[in-house]
Amino acid sequence: MNYDSLIVFIVLFVVFAIVGFLSSRFRRGNGTKLNEWSLAGRKLGAYLAWFLVGGDLYTAYTFIAVPSAEYAKGSIYMFATPYVMATFAVALITMTTLWKMSRKNNYFTGVDFVKDKYKSTTLAILIALTGIVAELPYIALQIVGMKAVLQVLFAPFLHVTATATAVDDIALIVSFAVLAAFTFWSGLRGAALTAVMKDGIILSSVIVVVIAVPLTISGGFHHAFQLATTMGSAKAVYPTLSPKLTNAYISLFVLSALALYLYPHAINGVLGSKNVKAVRFSTAMLPIYGLGLFLLTIFGVLVFAVPAALHTIGYVSPANLGNGSLVVPALIAATMPQWFVGYAFLGIFIGGLVPAAIMAISQANLLTRNIIAEFRKDLTEKTEANIARWASVGFIFLALAFVFLIPPTYAISLQLLGGILITQTLPPIFVGMYTKFLDKNALIAGWIAGIGTGVYFVEAANNFGSPTNSLMSTPFGLLYVAAVALFINLVVVFIWSLAANTFKRSPSEEPQKA
């Protein structure tokens, strides 16, 4: 039995762990303060901020969920490529403004801005809870990705298939334990420093595999797409996009682009930057990551041309595709030398670990800063930091529930489910940064309408079962549920705000009588 892959994986992981756990010494601050643990003391330069925010993108979403969705449902999930490009335009407009406000007013989170802007504790707590809950399925997605790698890595040594229950359980336990320990100890500094190592490994692995695998396939990409058409799901279209899915495709990439920088973990990464120049530079450079995302998506098609990889996945027929979350690790294991398998697997594993840590840190930040502190005004900075550390572990544990909610092949639904929730915070955060028109009660009503309809529509689209589908039928064709829910939210907010502003006009603002 060849142990090369396992040895390389373990050795590189030890290096990663040393970097992560010693990161507290980097630009050392007072680790007992929430600002130091959760925002790295706001000392991240342009390059570290670039790697950190890029770490939010090169996640299990990128190398597990998107290729798996492409494998199971076809080309509609190529929306991930334009979404990544569009989201940086959103960030250049909004994040520099939020960073300036945060530095001036000492905001730790986007919710700090909401509370200060609208003077409403109720609204602030609702937005904080939304951010916390929306991150849970996203963290679960990272755990699914970490687990998928360990399943393929451990299976040969346990003399079972990668889809066996025993290896699945072991992989899940190890993934949870490592993630919880790393998050508790390292904070945002650890995430930022290890993101450099993670992105380097992943980018190099993607380039090698995308070049090497087609060379081993007779007919290359063309042959792989032909096989996908005949062997893939009967409902999937691979080479092109079905016309009836055009509006669904557009709504998926537009709403996903709006959602990313509403997530607390993305805002955390921005607020950890040391100056606005670092924010602009890191954001402007991030489209580079979009190329890697496109290449990884193609793995969902290439796998059809590699029988050994299909066997690992458990492919039986177009009606039984097996475990699609194993597409990328199975393809790498079937085509690459064993030492490279260990190298690439480590990249994918920590590619789920680092973003999940950032997400849990941002959740802990919201809980401590924007919920508990509202009821406990006497919290010391040290107590805040300790609560946040333990809360981050608790949130990772809660996220495990979502792992069992959705079949691994449709793991992308975890990210889309979070997107439906987090986009409902767009009016008070993004719109609120540029206007005084919005009324706080209108925002609360809009939030209730958006969250309520969003949850109902996604459940109805799945016949109130496991939420594997995030598209709903409308007079305009299929649309991403987040688009419809956000539209309802905005209508309520603007009509209510218009009425409120009309009725609360002070006497001095009334026209003077002649």
DSSP string, 226-253: HHHHHHS-TT-B-SS--GGGHHHHHHHH
Taking the CA atoms of 309, 310, 312 and 313 in sequence, report the sign of the dihedral they define. Answer: positive
312, 162 contact by CB (below 8 A): yes
235 pLDDT more than 90:
no
Q: What is the pTM of this model?
A: 0.83
Q: Which of 141-150, 285-294, 469-478 is the least confident region?
A: 285-294
441 pLDDT more than 70:
yes
Place of tokens 């010693």: 22
Tokens coding 6: 């396992």
Taking the CA atoms of 220, 336, 63 and 154 in sequence, report the sign of the dihedral they define. Answer: positive
Q: What is the mean pLDDT of the chain?
A: 82
Q: Which of 156-160, 298-302, 479-483 is the least confident region?
A: 156-160
With bands split at pLDDT 50, 70 and 90, how would you rate the model's confidence at 513? very low
Q: Which of 92-106, 177-191, 486-500 is the least confident region?
A: 177-191
The predicted pLDDT at position 38 comes to 46
Pairing outcome for strands 471-474 and 477-480: antiparallel
With bands split at pLDDT 50, 70 and 90, how would you rate the model's confidence at 54? low
How many of the other CB atoms lie within 10 Å of CB of 380?
10
Burial of residue 339 (CB within 10 Å: 0-12, 13-18, 19+) is middle
Q: Measured at the alpha carbon of residue 98, what is the angle toward residues 96 and 101, in degrees to the nearest 5?
A: 110
Phi, psi of 320, rounded to the nearest 5 degrees: -140, 90
Homologous superfamily assigned to 4-409: Sodium/glucose cotransporter (1.20.1730.10)
195, 44 contact by CB (below 8 A): no
With bands split at pLDDT 50, 70 and 90, how would you rate the model's confidence at 495? very high
369 pLDDT more than 90:
no
Rounded distance between C-alpha atoms, residue 43 and residue 48, angstroms = 10
512 pLDDT more than 50:
no
Higher pLDDT, 44 or 247: 247
Q: Which of 37-51, 100-114, 120-134 is the least confident region?
A: 37-51
The predicted pLDDT at position 269 comes to 73
Rounded distance between C-alpha atoms, residue 500 and residue 436, angstroms = 12
pLDDT above 90 coverage of the chain, percent: 24
Over the stretch 323-366, which tens digit does the pLDDT of each residue have? 888 888 899 888 889 999 999 998 888 888 878 888 888 888 88
How many of the other CB atoms lie within 10 Å of CB of 423?
26
The predicted pLDDT at position 508 comes to 46
Tokens coding 311: 């066997």
The predicted pLDDT at position 32 comes to 47
Higher pLDDT, 21 or 266: 266
* Segment (H or E) for 135: helix 121-158
Tokens coding 92: 């250049």
Q: Which of 201-215, 293-307, 314-328 is the least confident region?
A: 201-215
The predicted pLDDT at position 514 comes to 38
261 pLDDT more than 70:
yes
